[in-house]
A and B are shown apart, each in its own frame.
Chain A
Amino acid sequence: MRKFFLIVLVTILSASALTACASGSDDAPAKAVEDYLNALVAKDADRLSTLSCGEWEDDALIELDSFQAVEARLDGLACEQTGTDGDTALVLCSGNIIATYNDEDQELDLSVRTYQVVQEGGEWLVCGVR
């Protein structure tokens, strides 16, 4: 019994130590923005909410609303962290959102926006655009 608990304790401590040392991927902020944009064109409101910080969630869903009536897809998406601003990571993406609405194909150039990504509860979340 004692041996059992000892094994469990050692396992837990090891796991905790490993996770504490795990610094997370360098491209996590960029990945967060890619996931965010994929959720946007897929019109997945629940996923979009979970990928947004609290302050940005309302705006994210408003942005999603604007896509409801269109067919949207991503073209050539690639995101990269370009810098930081305090605790905020700045991410720039290349590629386009192609939205088709009533025969009007609109290409929204993603490179005109810089996404602000913050870390909350260990998660990188989109928290605004510049």
Chain B
Amino acid sequence: MEPANPRIRLFPVLAKAILLFALFNFAFPFLKDLPLGKFSLYNSIFPGRERLPYGEVRESYSLSPFDIDAMFASHVIAGTEKGPDEYRVLLIGDSSVWGTLLRPEETLAGQLNANAVEACGKTVQAYNLGYPTLSLLKELMLLDHALQYQPDMVIWLTTLESFPNERQITSPLVANNAERVRGLIERYDLSADPHDPELVELSKWDQTFVGQRRAVADILRLQIYGALWAATGIDQVYPKDYVRAQIDLEPSDEFHGLTSEDLPSLRESLAFDVLEAGMSAPSVPTILINEPILISNGQNSELRYNFFYPRWAYDEYRQMLLERSAEHEWNYFDFWDLAPMTEFTNSGVHLTPQGEAILTDKVAEAIQTTCQ
């Protein structure tokens, strides 16, 4: 018969607790094949986000997890069954596609959907899969994951600043998904170094639960932010004021350490192999768009188009894009000078809502002419 008040023996309890925790902690790496990120409250309790989660401050009600599964699980595309009348278009790109300083409905995807564009007898449903940071490899990684969602078309908007080889792995999203990146490098025989020191290598300890606590916390916090997304529709801070993109420019024609005398080196320093991989990956029509850039008329604008681009480099890049597109028969559209200078916000590639509207019309036309 058990005593009425059995005394708790502290040390055995503590010892068991520590042992259990240690077991769980060190077994955690073996659970990594369990797609924890796919368990999501989005598209069930909370509506899916209209763009991939990215946030640097708490007031954005968003954060920047590195778990691709969790990112996509929170996106509306993961919870939207493709309708018979839907012409599914994936938009891949950088912060200009994601929509810095734009509300979801003001982005390219938002405006395409609002305009109810018809293409090949169906209604276009565009999904914003843009993500801030400039890196073709980042976009290839996201595109590779997104192809599971049965697109009818992929539109890849890009700009020169995403091309330099040295930029490919600097994107934190790329750096923190070493395994995926290595898989892409191997699959597409890319020139990027699979052992690039910028790729975050997790030590044995980093792979444990304690080592991964930040990543797990990010996934949990992303779920909680779902309530705020549902309640407010806010996924970004919209400051009242911001510093507009530079118009008066530096008296320099330098581009990533290269000058106008280094034209041949420019060709070799750009990751066209990544672009080619991305363009060949989808089995559906893929449109490549050279996105609009700010063309300044301020100081030193005879040397540079904007903060990012000296004229010689950008002109050469456009020429290269044209050549490659012709060679591979890509559906290529060059919208580089589409938007006037006044339709850019805080960066030489970020458009105002009106600028996006101009781009939307052109992209809609491109979809209609390209769809099969």
Contact = CB atoms under 8 A, between A and B. Distances in A.
Size category of the B interface is: 10 to 19
A102 B56 contact: no
B101 to A, nearest CB: 9
Contact of B95 (A69, A71, A102): A102
A10 to B, nearest CB: 49
A85 interface: no
A55 interface: no
B94 A103 contact: yes
A102 B307 contact: no
Interface string B60-71: 000000000000
Contacts of A120: none
A103 B95 CA distance: 8
A46 interface: no
B239 A102 contact: no
Contacts of A103: 94-95, 132-134, 161, 347
B37 to A, nearest CB: 23
B165 interface: no
Contacts of A69: 239, 242
A104 interface: yes
Given A103-B133, A103-B347, A104-B307, A71 B100 contact: no
Contacts of B239: 69
Interface residues of A, number: 6
Contacts of B308: 104
B134 A71 contact: no
Interface in B321-372: 346-347, 350
Which secondary structure dominates chain B's binding surface? loop
Given A69-B239, A69-B242, A104 B347 contact: yes
Interface in B258-314: 307-308
A71 B56 contact: yes
Q: Please indicate which of the listed interface residues A69, A71, A101, A102 has the most CB atoms of chain B within 10 Å of its own CB.
A: A102
A102 B349 CA distance: 10
B346 A102 contact: yes
Contacts of B100: 102
A101 B95 CA distance: 11
Contacts of A102: 95, 100, 132, 346-347, 350
Contacts of A101: 346
Interface of B: 56, 94-95, 100, 132-134, 161, 239, 242, 307-308, 346-347, 350
Given A71-B56, A102-B95, A103-B94, 7 more contacts: A69-B242, A102-B132, A103-B132, A103-B133, A103-B134, A104-B307, A104-B308
20 contacts: A69-B239, A69-B242, A71-B56, A101-B346, A102-B95, A102-B100, A102-B132, A102-B346, A102-B347, A102-B350, A103-B94, A103-B95, A103-B132, A103-B133, A103-B134, A103-B161, A103-B347, A104-B307, A104-B308, A104-B347
